[in-house]
Amino acid sequence: MASPQIALAEQLSSASPAHDRRSRRPDILLFIGLAIAIGAAIVGLRSTGVSLTYFLQPTGALMVLGGTIGVLLITTPSRSLLNSLRRVATLVTASETDRAALIDEIVECSRQSRRGGFLALESMLPKMGNSPLRSAFELAVDIGNPAELRTVLETGLQMAERQGEADAKTLEVAAGFAPTLGIMGTVVGLIEVLRQFSNFSSVGYGIGTAFVSTIYGLALANLLLLPLAHRIRARVADNFETQELIMEGVLAIADSVHPALIRMRLASFLRKPTREK
């Protein structure tokens, strides 16, 4: 049976926990960003006056993509690789937790706890819409001791953050190898050019074609892998703040803090628009 820390970490690191009341929609900004980045690169290449078909080199693409995938399989354990792929898949949709509603739910739980005792929250668990909040309260009911509860919640939060960092690091490792593999493809292309050096009419074309592999490697790293790694970290940071809110709220209820004070404590987690001076 999994330990409470591991079970909670899986809840916290999950990008779309079951029964979680979040507004889920396609991440339009992600698609717009990819379209602008790729479109700008294509327009830039097209502005040179060279046909885009010139940059379609299956050999270079095979060396860069195949080599990057092979390197990932060598450097990354299968479980970590699968976790990273799942994380990338969750980036397609954007999910946003309503923190104000979450605070209201925590405050209501605090009122119920003050009226009927902490164990009275057990009857409210099935109605909780936020899965990490429900898991945290389940642990609170089972453990009882506030000090031990804080240790378990903090450990789960740290494990979730560590998992997110590992997922982002996987993409960064791939991004580090992709340009080098592109250079390898370029070297292979130059070797082929030197083999036909006596045919001067094809030398210039061959050299240009050889460097297409370098473009593939740089584009894969800088237009896809590194941006996705940074986006994973941004999602993890946002999720970390939400889970901190949950942890502080549950611990405050366990310490029998007044509901009004709990609301004041948790209000700092609400994002407020910046006012210009």
Distance CA 239, CA 257 (A): 25
How far is CA 89 from each of CA 15, 33, 78, 143, rounded to the nearest angstrom? 10, 16, 17, 35
Residue 275 carries which DSSP code? P
- The residues spanned by each domain of the chain are 58-268
Contacts 24+ apart (CB under 8 A), 245-249: 245/99, 245/102, 245/103, 245/106, 245/269, 246/102, 246/106, 246/130, 246/132, 246/133, 246/136, 247/136, 247/150, 247/153, 247/154, 247/157, 249/103, 249/106, 249/109, 249/110, 249/133
Question: Cα-flanking dihedrals φ and ψ of residue 97, to 5°?
Answer: -85, 135
Q: Compute the residue count for the chain.
A: 277
CB 240 within 8 A of CB 161: yes
* pLDDT tens, position by position, 89-113: 888 887 777 888 888 888 888 888 8
Q: Compare 170 and 128 and report the one with higher pLDDT.
A: 170
**Contact between 191 and 228 (Cβ < 8 Å):** no
Percent residues over pLDDT 70 in the chain: 82
Q: For residue 98, with 0-12 CB atoms within 10 Å meaning exposed, 13-18 middle and 19 or more buried, which class applies? A: middle
pLDDT of 16 > 60? The answer is: no
* Measured CA angle at 105 (ends 99, 107), to 5 deg: 105
Tokens of 201: 């009419």
Among the residue ranges 21-30, 142-151, 169-178, 257-266, the one predicted with the least confidence is 21-30
Strand stretches in 60-178, DSSP E:
93-97
- Over 60: is that where the pLDDT of 214 sits? yes
pLDDT digits (tens, 9 = 90+) for 57-84: 887 888 899 999 999 999 989 898 999 9
First to last CA, the chain: 55
Residue 91 vs residue 145, higher pLDDT:
91
Instruction: Say if residue 45's pLDDT is above 70.
Output: yes
Tokens representing residue 47 in the block: 């502005």
pLDDT at position 100 is: 86
